[in-house]
Chain A
Amino acid sequence: MDLSKRVQLFLCISVLVLLIPLKADAMHIMEGFLPPMWCLVWGLLTLPFVVIGLKSIKRIIAENPRLKILLAMAGAFAFVLSALKLPSVTGSCSHPTGVGFGAILFGPTVMSVLGLIVLLFQSLLLAHGGLTTLGANTFSMAVVGPLVAYGVFVLVRKMRGSQSMAIFLGAALGDLLTYMTTSVQLALAFPAEIGGFAASMAKFMGIFAVTQIPLAVSEGILTVLIFNAIAAYGKDELKLLKFFPEGGMNHVK
């Protein structure tokens, strides 16, 4: 099917015009987007992490009951943070995920539970994400993201990298890996007609990478700014946080 140059140009421009205003903010997979099988698969994969998270929260609370209220406040904080607009490098606005911040401060296991709660509230109160896709979204945002962010943070600290570097890399990579996981989830559920999973993966990665790399960098910078400000102004108040896992707030000077 041969199209004239003019029609081709028109198609190109209309596709561009369609895509440009779409900022992939709040990259949660929406309600009803995944086939039932993948909803179940991601739900089951997420379950053990949530169970471990609940157990570790129980242990933390048994040690210091005051922290239950603090954890709930942290969950609300993450929700409010996700409802804010983030100035991005490209000038557009999008949502900070707060994944890296929470993971570095509270550790990845606690974050899986808090993330689940925040995602559920986002779907019910803000119409971001959904109930059937809760498993998949929790897996990318509250399991993979925090694990990567925390892992990178600890690793960079072990290699004697600076505090800010560790926070920046942790938050940025945690953010990026979250979106990569989302792309994998979408590609697995919708393999391309021509080329299968790999082609579909390339398509989703291509589209989301363009929008997400600047966002990940912004998230990293912002997380560093937040940590610096907290360390400067709130050091005395945050003594309680030493109950959280090694590598958390107690390392911030």
Chain B
Amino acid sequence: MISIDSVAYMSKLKKMEPRQKLAFALVTLGTCIWADYVIVSVAVIFIMGFTTVCRGGVPLRTFLRLFTVPMSFLLLSVITIAVNVSELPELLLISIPLSGKWIGVTRHGLHEAAGLFLKALGAVSCLYFLSLNTPMVDVLAALRKLKAPKLLVELMGLVYRFIFVLLETSNTIITAQNARLGYTRLSTGYHALGMLASSLFIRTYKRSDELYTALESRGYDGELNVLEEPYDSSLTGCAAAAAVNTVLILASIYLK
């Protein structure tokens, strides 16, 4: 139902120690944002693309298609940053007059916007590496080992499991509503969506109540403990990750 989730379970890097993947993704992400260099950003996109597609065995199409998800936000914001309003047209590279003022782009603004565009895509590729190769259960295991607040991790685990139950319910309801022309007009759309959300909520509530009763009758005392799968930790993976980041950091220091 959630494509990223199912891809993560099929990844060849699934067995790898999640803390290693987390560290690699986050350190590279940090480097990419800190360096703020076009070359570094492009390098990060390629490195993450290579590891995800060649090492993780994630289809290239899936990886590329994900880049369209944040595109509307990215384009809108980058254009907003690049376009400036000024009273002096000399400051602007290209400009359009509008009621006594000039709207246009400056050379510096264009550079900044292009750099930002690539930097954000580089950062996003790090996020995709993590989420396409690490099932959520493993992320939670890593968080638990990293001593994140117990209550938070437990709530996250529960939320994750409930998401799929609710998605299935809501999909069934949406199909039923569509079959009865529920979303053909705006007014009926509102009505249908209101019905969907409220009945989903009431079902959610009942289900949680039943679940608690079921858990309690099996000796639930406030904690759900499950066995964790064994993970492979590879030294070569660590070394490669460290090497990649050292090169990136040195390159950006040199460029600065």
Interface residues of A (CB under 8 A from B): 1, 3, 8, 11-12, 15, 18-19, 22-33, 35-36, 39, 54, 57-58, 61, 65-66, 68-77, 79-81, 83-84, 86-87, 89, 91, 96, 101, 113-114, 116-118, 120-121, 123-128, 130-132, 186, 190, 192-195, 199-200, 203-204, 207, 218, 221-222, 225-230, 233-234, 237-238, 240
The interface bits of chain B over 166-207 (1 if a CB of A lies within 8 angstroms of the residue's CB, else 0) are 110010000000000001001001110111111111101111
In B93-143, which residues have CB < 8 Å from any A CB? 93-97, 106, 108-109, 112, 116, 119-124, 126-128, 130-131, 136, 139
- Which of A57, A77, A120 has the largest count of B CB atoms less than 10 A from its CB? A77
A81 to chain B, nearest CB (A): 6
Are A77 and B201 in touch, CB under 8 angstroms?
A: yes
User: Can you name the residue of chain A whose Cβ is closest to the Cβ of B25?
Assistant: A131
B123 (CB) vs chain A CBs: closest residue: A32
Which chain B positions have C-beta within 8 A of A116? Answer: 152
Chain A residues lying within 8 Å of B201, measured Cβ to Cβ, are 77, 226, 230, 234
Best-surrounded residue of A25, A116, A117 (most CB of chain B within 10 A): A117
A253 to chain B, nearest CB (A): 16
Which single member of B116, B139, B156, B206 contacts A117 (CB below 8 Å)? Answer: B156
- What A residues does B166 contact at CB under 8 A? 73, 76-77, 79-80
- Besides A3-B95, A11-B94, A61-B222, 6 more A-B contacts (Cβ < 8 Å) are A69-B208, A73-B207, A128-B70, A203-B85, A226-B198, A238-B205
Count of chain A to chain B residue pairs whose CB atoms are closer than 8 Å in the complex: 270
Query: Which residue of chain B has the shortest Cβ distance to A190 in the bound complex?
Result: B81
Interface residue B159 (Cβ < 8 Å from any Cβ of A): yes
Residues of A within 8 A of B120 (CB): 30-33
Listed in ascending order, the chain B residues whose CB lies under 8 Å from chain A are 2, 4-5, 26, 29-30, 32-34, 36, 66, 69-70, 72-77, 79-81, 83-86, 89, 91-97, 106, 108-109, 112, 116, 119-124, 126-128, 130-131, 136, 139, 149, 151-152, 154-156, 158-160, 162-163, 165-167, 170, 183, 186, 189-191, 193-202, 204-209, 211-212, 215, 222
